[in-house]
Structure 1
Amino acid sequence: MSAIQTKQLENAHAYLSHLNALNFDALADLLAPDFTFEYFPASLSPPGGKAKRGKEETLELFKHAWLTVFDYITLLKPVDVIQGSDAVVFHVKSDGMSKSGKKYNNEYMFTFHFAGEKIVYMKEFADSKYSDSYFADLTA
């Protein structure tokens, strides 16, 4: 593995660590200025009705979710890691609790795309059946 691939893998892990620590400034430092985030699958209602966001919008979305919706949420150590040329894919599970006291244990695929050491694009695939049911119950 090249030095840049090692750093890309470290930065993908740091992305999870910074979210878990609520360190949004450190998270922002990992992202390229032109960073784009997309939420999948398309059939799932994306947070705030918007599937694609830039860097600042993404950071605001995470701040809202981690600080307003959840009492806590932890992205656990990846179950599986795949690394390619300027890309890292994580299969991740979460452990969390909503502010209303409902347990949150979702499952994700995160695809990170890099330009050098910076994350330029990320796709998040959530367990759509779980997500739909979980968030419908929170708003009911």
Structure 2
Amino acid sequence: MSDLNAKQLENAYAFLNHLNALEWGPLADLMASNFKHQYFPGTIVPPDGKETRGKEEFMGVLQHNFIHVFDKTTFGEPLDVVHGVNKVVFHLKSDGMSKSGKKYNNEYMVTFHFDGEKIIKLNEFVDSKYSSAFFAALRAEAST
């Protein structure tokens, strides 16, 4: 494995570690200025209605969710890792709780795309059935 490939894998793990620790500055530092985030599958409608967002929008969504929606959510060690040229793919699960006490244990396939050591794109595949039901229940709670 080349030094660059090793650094890319290290940065993918660092992304999860900084997210779990809510370390916003170091997390943002891993991303290129032209970073893009995309939710998948296409049938899921993100709460903000945007399928693709830039670095600042993505950081805003993360901060909002992890500060205002969830009491605590952590991503576990990847269950599977695929590492190729300028890409790292993690299969992982989250363990969390909403502020209202609703469990949040989702499953993900996350693909990190790199340009050098920086993450330029993050594709996030979620369990769309679980996510849709979870966020619909939270919206219903908030409206009562």
- Per the alignment, residue 61 of structure 2 pairs with 61
Using structure 1 for the length normalisation, give the TM-score: 0.98
- Per the alignment, residue 40 of structure 2 pairs with 40
Using structure 2 for the length normalisation, give the TM-score: 0.96
Is 1:127 matched with 2:127?
Answer: yes
1:79-116, Cα deviation, whole Å (9 max, x unpaired): 00000100000001000000000011000000000000
Shift of 1:138: 1.1
Q: Map residues 32-111 of structure 1 onto 2, 5 A cutoff.
A: 32-111=32-111
Query: Which amino acid counterpart does residue 84 of structure 1 have in structure 2?
Result: G
Is 1:19 matched with 2:28?
Answer: no
Shift of 1:47: 2.8
Which portions of structure 1, spanning 4 or more consecutive aligned residues, are displaced by more than 6 angstroms? none
- Per the alignment, residue 30 of structure 1 pairs with 30
Question: 2:93 and 2:56 mapped to 1: Cα distance?
Answer: 25
- Per the alignment, residue 9 of structure 1 pairs with 9
Q: Percent identity?
A: 59
Question: 1:103 and 1:42 mapped to 2: Cα distance?
Answer: 24
> Any conservation in 2 of the 1:40–1:46 contact (CA below 8 Å)?
no
> Any conservation in 2 of the 1:36–1:52 contact (CA below 8 Å)?
yes
Unaligned runs of 5+ in 2: none
Give the aligned CA root-mean-square deviation in angstroms.
Answer: 0.6
Question: 2:36 and 2:138 mapped to 1: Cα distance?
Answer: 28
SS at match of 2:17: helix
1:39-80, Cα deviation, whole Å (9 max, x unpaired): 111101113111100011110010001101000000110000
Question: 2:46 and 2:37 mapped to 1: Cα distance?
Answer: 12
| 128-137 or 86-95: bigger deviation | 128-137
Unaligned runs of 5+ in 1: none
Question: 1:76 and 1:51 mapped to 2: Cα distance?
Answer: 25
Question: 1:117 and 1:95 mapped to 2: Cα distance?
Answer: 28
